[in-house]
Amino acid sequence: MRFLLRWIINAVALYVAVALVPGIHPQSPHWYAYLWLALIFGLVNALIRPLLELLTCSLIVLTLGLFIWVINATMFALAGWIGAHFGVGFTVDGFWSALLGSIITSLTASLLAMLFKDELKGKKHQKKH
């Protein structure tokens, strides 16, 4: 259940970013495209991001962590590019669009995760009498 909820949260967050940032162009307007895109986004962040952070560790330290923003923008654009090969991705006009898209995706996902924090932790709502 938690995996499904996180998947939906990421899909909604990606939808919001694609809808709000003018430099991001979706390949498909269908809702199920965002579900597939969220799955790709999750895999990219789980598999490629740690390797990229390891390889650029000294650059991250040198920039006092600001290079993480570049990695976030790259992962966002990469997920869209991979998704485009399956007909569910998006294109990004440039770095600033990718950066803004990654920020909006992160903020939206964080806000939704706070709304559903009990469900994500596995706690059930109990009625107070």
pLDDT digits (tens, 9 = 90+) for 60-84: 999 999 999 999 999 999 999 999 9
Q: Is residue 6 part of a domain?
A: yes
**DSSP E strand stretches across 1-129:** 24-26, 90-92
Q: Flag whether pLDDT at 127 surpasses 60.
A: no
Mean pLDDT value of segment 46-52: 96
Q: Is residue 128 part of a domain?
A: no
Q: Residue 35 burial (CB < 10 Å; 0-12/13-18/19+)?
A: middle
The answer to whether the predicted template modeling score (pTM) of the entire model surpasses 0.75 is yes
Q: What is the C-alpha to C-alpha distance for residues 1 and 103, in angstroms, rounded to an integer?
A: 26
Q: Is residue 126 part of a domain?
A: no
Q: What is the C-alpha to C-alpha distance for residues 13 and 27, in angstroms, rounded to an integer?
A: 17
In the prediction, which pLDDT does 1 show? 80
Q: Is residue 91 part of a domain?
A: yes
Confidence of residue 20 (pLDDT cuts 50, 70, 90): very high
Structural domains counted in the chain? 1
Token readout for 57 is 């560790």
Which residue range is the domain that position 110 belongs to?
Answer: 2-21+29-121
Name the helix (H) or strand (E) containing 25: strand 24-26
